[in-house]
Amino acid sequence: MSTIFTKIINKEIPATIVYEDDQVLAFNDIEPQAPIHILIIPKKQIATLNDLQIEDAALVGQLFLTAKLLAKQMGFDEAGYRTVFNCNADGGQAVYHIHLHVLAGRKLSWPPG
């Protein structure tokens, strides 16, 4: 089932896109939880981490490499940042199209709530 992120991929609804290639899209979270809050998603529709297949391994790697690239480009690589995948209800997943949260720009607390 498609989600609002499919509409962002298809440019049917607006988003502030910070990176795009043929497999990956990254855009600012609409409800940022830190001064920098980016979502990095595969263009391929995968609902949750539970749905990942072995053939998706390189694609998941691309999500992290995009986080690394943006951290360097946007200058928060040295200060630090957090990457998060939420899975299903207890993980706090609201949009069922996998997305890597990248949070930066403030000291993040641990453990998360």
**DSSP structure string for 68-90:** HHHHHHHT-TTT-EEEE---HHH
* Contacts to ligand AMP from residues 45-84, by CB under 6 A: none
86 binds ligand AMP (CB under 6 A): yes
**CB count, 10 Å around CB of 100?**
21
Segment interacting with ligand AMP, rule: CB under 6 A, options 49-57, 73-81, 86-94, 105-113: 86-94
Catalytic residue positions, numbered:
99
Q: Which residue in the set 48, 52, 93, 105 belongs to the binding site for ligand AMP (CB under 6 A)? A: 93
Among 65, 68, 95, 106, binds ligand AMP (CB under 6 A): 95
Q: Residues of 33-51 as b/e, b for ≥16 C-beta within 10 angstroms?
A: ebebbbbbbbbebbbeeee
Rg over CA atoms, the chain? 14
Q: Which residues bind ligand AMP (CB under 6 A)?
A: 4, 15, 29-31, 39, 86, 92-95
